[in-house]
Amino acid sequence: MPRNMSFALTTRQYQNKTKSVTRRNGWKFAKVGDMVNGCEKCQGLKRGERITVLGQHRWVCLRWEPLRRMTDDLEYGKREVNLEGFPEMTPQEFVDMYCKHNKVTPDALIHRMEFEYL
């Protein structure tokens, strides 16, 4: 049975399939080829709420890299911001948003997870 992964901050991008990369602080157990349920929200559900599955995807490329790679190499950063589903953002804006929501610094080693929709 596939694991659930929250896309609470990027629900629209996931539903529109404009997102094919996500970054996470964990998921050390993930392996290329694993199938995952993309969900609107997985934790912090109120009594009676249920997980809403948005779709499924499969990991195609997994690697660890410093978050700041997106701002150190702006060409790479712009490509990645697009793959994350935020073409209107600069790499710096994306890194700032990620740091704020995940309580990390740009030097943090982050799991870059590329996927294909099923």
- The structure's pTM equals 0.93
- How far out from the chain centre does Cα 18 lie? 12
Q: How far apart are CA 86 and CA 84, in angstroms?
A: 6
**pLDDT, position 66:** 98
Domains in the chain, CATH or no CATH each:
3-117 (2.30.130.30)
Q: What is the mean pLDDT of the segment spanning 63-74?
A: 98
**pLDDT, position 86:** 97
H or E segment to which residue 15 belongs: helix 11-16
**pLDDT, position 29:** 96
Q: Shortest CA distance to 112 belongs to which of 6, 32, 34, 22?
A: 22
**pLDDT, position 41:** 87
Task: Quickly state the pLDDT bin for 77 (edges 50, 70, 90).
Answer: very high
